[in-house]
Amino acid sequence: MKDDELKNILAAFKEGALGMEAALELIREASCKNLGFARIDNQRPERQGRPEVIFCQGKTAAQVREIVEYMLTRDTNILATRATAEVFAAVSEICPRAEYNETARTITVRKVALNIPEGYIAVVAAGTSDLPVAEEAAVSAEILGNRVERIIDVGVAGIHRLFDVIDLVRGARVVIVVAGMEGALASVVGGLVDKPVIAVPTSVGYGASFGGLAALLAMLNSCAGGVAVVNIDNGFGAACVASAINRLP
C-alpha cells in the first residue's frame, strides 16, 4: 500500500468516517482481495509494474465476470487471456467498453493511459497458423504499454519474405519470434539482429511436432546467441518479458 493511501484510511478512521472493521478491510484489500474462489493480487503493480492478469481457461464465465467486476473498481487496465466468446459475453454485460480479440482470445479494458516508450516490440510469426499465439503476445504487450509492430508469415519455408522486412525487425528494441513446426525461425532471426529475441514455440504442426515439443527443443538448442525461450503457446509470457526489456530506462 502506498503511504498516501494508508494515511487517508487512518485519517478517515480518526475522524470517525470509517469504522474499525471497514478500515481493516481496506488495509487488507490493499494486499489482495479475497473473492472466495480467487485472491486478486492488488500489490502486483507496485512489485512488478503491471497488474494481475486473468487466465480464463479453467474458470467459469461467472467467475471471470466477478473478477473483472472487482478489477473495474481498481485504477488499472485489465487483460484476460484464453477467453472464449461466452466469457466475453458475460464480461460485456457489466463492461460494455471491454474489447474482445477473437484471434488472440483476449479481453481488454483500457482504463489508464500509460507512457509508451520510444522503442517498439516486433512480434514475428512464422506462419498464419501461429497467429493466435502471436496476437496474444501483441495484445498483451500493447495493454502493458508498448508499441508493437506485427510481422506475419515470414517462416523459413520462404525465407526471402523475412528479408523484405528485416529493417523493421532490426529496428525493434526486442523481438518476439513465434513459430511452430520445427521452430527454426527463432534461430534465423537470432543470427540477424543485435537485440534480445524471445522465442515462443507453438503447438502448430503435424504429428512429429508433438504438440510444440519439437519447436520447443529446437529453440532451446538454438546456436544463435541472445535467444531466450518461453513455454509452448505462451504469448503472454513472452510479452511480459519483452515489455520489461522495452520499458527499461
Residue 36's identity, in one-letter code, is: G
Q: Provide the strand spans (E) within the chain.
A: 32-34, 39-41, 54-55, 78-81, 99-101, 106-109, 120-125, 147-152, 174-179, 197-201, 227-229
Residue 57, pLDDT > 80, answer yes
| Average model confidence (pLDDT) across the chain | 91
Structural domains of the chain sorted by starting position, each given as residue range(s) with its CATH number in brackets: 32-109 (no CATH), 120-246 (3.40.50.1970)
pLDDT confidence of residue 157: 92
- Average pLDDT, integer, range 42-64: 89
Could you give the angle at the alpha carbon of 150 between the alpha carbons of 186 and 248, nearest 5°? 75
Count of H helices and E strands in the chain? 11, 11
Residue 21, pLDDT > 70, answer yes
Residue 72, pLDDT > 70, answer yes
Residue 199 and residue 222 in contact, taking contact as beta carbons nearer than 8 Å: yes
Nearest alpha carbon to residue 152 among 142, 162, 167: 162
Residues in the chain: 249
> 1-15, 160-174, 200-214, 232-246: which range is least confident on average?
1-15
Q: 86: which 3 cell numbers?
A: 461466452
Residue 18, pLDDT > 90, answer no
- Average pLDDT, integer, range 204-214: 95
pLDDT confidence of residue 28: 67
Residue 146 and residue 242 in contact, taking contact as beta carbons nearer than 8 Å: yes
Considering the entire predicted model, what is its pTM?
A: 0.88
